[in-house]
Chain A
Amino acid sequence: MSTDDLTEDLTRRTENAPQELLTRSFFFLCAVLSIVTTISIIVLLTTEAAKFFSATAPLMGVEGPTASAVDFFTGTEWIINNEQFGVLPLVSATLAITVGSAVVALPLGVATAIYLSEYASPRAQSVLKPALEVLAGVPTVVYGFFAVVYITPALRTLIPGLGTFNMLSASIVVGIMIIPMVASISEDAMSAVPDSLRQAGYGMGATKFDVSVGIVVPAALSGIFSSFILALSRAIGETMAVTVAAGSQANLINPLNPVDYLEGALPMTAAMVNLLTGDVTGGGVAYRSLFAIGLTLFFITLVMNIISDLVAQRYREES
């Protein structure tokens, strides 16, 4: 091979060959698409919400009825027909769903993960894992009906007089819905714990329980926390199940008071569905409240995600 041939061979710029350029730009566009979509959604939410509030509506050139931001964020009544737009009852219902589903899903999900990762025989795993996947694949509206048709009547045997639509069965069903997420992410984290740690534990005379709870779970804690946050973000944003099961009464409830769960309430997502499916006219103030709720929900989820990143980071540093 002559020197020229060698130089030519080594200096071919495969990086900029037309084919390479084409594929590279295609992948780039795909990546950009999601960013563009996210930004458009934020812009839409913000501009439409701006038209809702009295303070910002004139800037947007909107005339007609608007709502005060103070009333929106501090009001305790959500009665559209009276033009009372207090978002607190909706936020309280969303938080109640989150707390209630967490109470159901976090312990059960982690227990399921411990069973799958530490106790289950390969045979039991081969049955349970697909079952969990099926559970995760059920359309959420079906969960809503499941709550109304099975869970509420079952709860009535314990709590006579429980209304058809109530936060208790809505929370339970959302909890059941997010168990697979907690279980599968936590199980991944536990399976990733090195076997040498289990050996160390068993070699010390630890029981299976000691090893699972005292060694594997702490070592997998950052993954377990991630599963919590992801699952709870899903619970906050969950729509169809709560629209069906929680009712449509915008009661202000206390998420930390179990008795309040016996009532129906209107989580933010359900309120938005009601607004969309109801007879609110496009352009009216009720219609625009939809975007104000959407923006609020967006911020709540955003804050959750930021917190989860911080928590995960801290635990990663510690372990």
Chain B
Amino acid sequence: MTDNTNPEFAVDESTDDPTTDDMVTGTDVSESVTSSGATMQRDTVVSAENVSVWYNDDRALRDITLDIPEKQVTAMIGPSGCGKSTFLRCINRMNDMIDAARVEGDLYLRTKNVYDDDVDPVALRRRVGMVFQTPNPFPKSIYDNVAYGLKIQNKNGDYDRIVEESLKRAALWDEVSDQLDQSGLELSGGQQQRLCIARAIAPDPEVILMDEPASALDPVATSQIEDLITELAEEYTVVIVTHNMQQAARISNKTAVFLTGGELVEFDDTEKIFENPESQRVEDYITGKFG
């Protein structure tokens, strides 16, 4: 396993697909994009090289190249339809399920190109969890929702403890600890989204993708989710798509700005993007003049 293994979550991984084991051996220490003077040395977890996506003949992403650093929050912002969700789905190959979608270029999870023929998308998605825009708990009990990833992966371990840990980490434990048998659908929208986050972290993935995880929630639930994301970044690499500029500024370490046409216009430290962006277009977008 890699260095972000949380000892509390140590579970037997013997059932893992062998192809994915070499998918992550060795770490690629690269310099993350230099920003306003400070150079940070962090492992790159996800690295895109000239990734382009077409839906039939329409190009949704143009030659995206960026490195996502480990245990940080990387935000993707940009106007509607600029390809943020499309890029997120490239990372865990959820685009495979859209018949019209075609991906070109290379996308590495650490050292392994996830678009290599020998990569099993199922194994990839066990390392790259996802939280969706609309909360989508299974019509099962709260416990079974959180334990789902462990069950399908046949992981050994103390499920009760992992479920509890995950719910605690998702700041939901106090509210549901005495009703774990209740259906996940009976929770409020904000609780459901935290349940989905608990479900995503329970099998201990390396990367968590979040596509506008708070956009369906009220301000209180939103700020809970934001606090949670900040905490998650201590253990996990988080990539989050958001429409909310203040949210990106508040919680992310790095920000990627996509603009219409599927271009990545700027990618840098969040502070730099919001205080002193290189590109006029980004400045216009951030100050609300465009987009």
A residues contacting B by CB (< 8 A) are 194, 196-197, 199-207, 210, 214-215, 218-219, 318-319
Contact = CB atoms under 8 A, between A and B. Distances in A.
Contacts of A196: 132, 134, 136
Interface stretch (B48-56, B120-128, B231-239): B120-128
A218 B126 CA distance: 22
B199 interface: yes
B272 interface: no
Contacts of A319: 139, 183
Given A199-B132, A199-B136, A319-B139, A204 B148 contact: yes
B149 interface: yes
Query: Secondary structure at chain A's binding surface: helix, strand, loop or mixed?
Result: helix
B136 A202 contact: no
Interface in B54-108: 92, 94, 97
Given A196-B132, A196-B134, A215-B138, A202 B200 contact: no
Interface string B164-197: 0000000000000000000100000000000010
A259 B90 CA distance: 57
Nearest to A319: B139
B130 A203 contact: yes
A200 to B, nearest CB: 4
Contacts of A206: 122, 148, 152
B138 A200 contact: yes
B155 to A, nearest CB: 11
Contact of B152 (A197, A204, A318): A204
Contacts of A201: 138, 148
A194 B137 CA distance: 11
Interface residues of B, number: 27
Contacts of B149: 204-205
Contacts of A318: 183
Contact of B138 (A197, A205, A207): A197
Interface of B: 92, 94, 97, 122-127, 129-130, 132, 134, 136-140, 148-149, 152-153, 183, 196, 199-200, 203
B276 to A, nearest CB: 36
Nearest to A193: B139
B152 A214 contact: yes
B196 A207 contact: no
B13 to A, nearest CB: 13
B211 to A, nearest CB: 10
A214 B152 CA distance: 9
A319 to B, nearest CB: 5
B122 A203 contact: no
A308 B41 CA distance: 64
A202 B125 contact: yes
A197 B137 CA distance: 7
8 contacts: A194-B136, A197-B138, A202-B125, A203-B125, A204-B126, A204-B148, A205-B122, A319-B139
Given A200-B196, A218-B139, 13 more contacts: A197-B138, A197-B139, A200-B136, A200-B138, A201-B138, A203-B92, A203-B132, A205-B149, A206-B148, A210-B152, A215-B138, A319-B139, A319-B183
B152 A205 contact: yes
Nearest to A194: B136
| In the A-B complex, the 6 residue pairs with the closest CB atoms | A205-B126, A203-B130, A205-B125, A196-B136, A200-B136, A210-B152
A204 B152 CA distance: 9
B122 A207 contact: yes
Contacts of A204: 125-126, 129-130, 148-149, 152, 199-200, 203
A220 B206 CA distance: 33
Contacts of B152: 204-207, 210, 214
Contacts of A219: 138-139
Nearest to A198: B97
A206 to B, nearest CB: 5
